[in-house]
Amino acid sequence: MESLKDIAIKILGKNEKRMCSCGGGHEVCLRCRVCRVKENDKLAVDFDHLAQYIDHTLLKPEATSDAIVALCQEADHYKTKSVCVNPIYVDLAHKNLKEALTCTVVGFPLSNSLTPTIVQEASTAIAQGATEVDMVLKVNWLKDKEYQKILTEIGIIAQTCQANGAILKVIFENCLLTEEEIAIAAILAKKAGAEFIKTSTGFNKSGAVLEDVALMRKVVGPKFGVKAAGGIRDRETAIAMLKAGANRIGASATKAILKGE
């Protein structure tokens, strides 16, 4: 793989040579829609209290309303950062949570819907109480090098979220990508104004991998969010992901991860 700086220059244009101050491995300034230079570092530092980093997740198609209510009760009991549910359950989750945030997914899990459809999905979810939105990157656009389309779609959804007090995470589906494609996706998501990048949906052939998390963190630097999701089922793995650079964990096995705290 080329250096991250060379990759950034290649996809942004050879005339972009200003150095970046946010600490990202891309080095050159991305001219991000939201500059985060003055923000505090987002790195995980407290490995004794993992719940604060966890999005307690239930996205299975067979999930019932009773299961969602139980998920919310567990999230408040363990004091997780959020619950992550499918859009049809955002309203139910929001009404049943006392402290945890409501997170949802849009364009999930394949992101083959048209951009206006995904924007509407995000808008409706936010109106029903979602304060965090995890969208899926269009892998086919990335493979086709349709970088401007990706920037435009993420940018529109990021603006929709931020105008309504929500944050945006962009899911890559790393198991389908090369290292260079992961780096490019991270650069594009950061430039477009998202707050987080995320490893996977958990619905493809593999989930979070330590090496991918480390690469994602290296690309975006310390002032940006990195979420590891998919296949994280125990405390040891969760801590390893945080030490590799994640500052959020998407997990359905929250009780097993937090056992012993």
Compute the chain's Rg from CA coordinates: 17
Contact 152, 188 (CB under 8 A): no
d(CA 174, CA 212): 7
Phi-psi label, residue 121: left if phi above 0, alpha if psi -120 to 50, beta otherwise? alpha
Burial of 249 (0-12, 13-18, 19+ CB in 10 A): buried
Q: Is 134 a catalytic residue?
A: yes
Q: Is 66 a catalytic residue?
A: no
In DSSP terms, which residues pair with 170 in a beta bridge?
135, 197
* Catalytic annotation, pick one of 42, 81, 191, 198: 198
Tokens at 84, concatenated: 């992550």
d(CA 75, CA 89): 15
* Catalytic annotation, pick one of 134, 138, 191, 212: 134
* Catalytic annotation, pick one of 169, 191, 223, 227: 227
Q: Cis ω on the peptide bond leading into residue 116 (within 30° of 0)?
A: no
Helix axis angle, 235-244 to 210-220, nearest 10°: 30
DSSP 3-state of 184: helix
Phi-psi label, residue 111: left if phi above 0, alpha if psi -120 to 50, beta otherwise? left
Q: Is 60 a catalytic residue?
A: no
Contact 252, 201 (CB under 8 A): no
Catalytic residues: 134, 198, 227
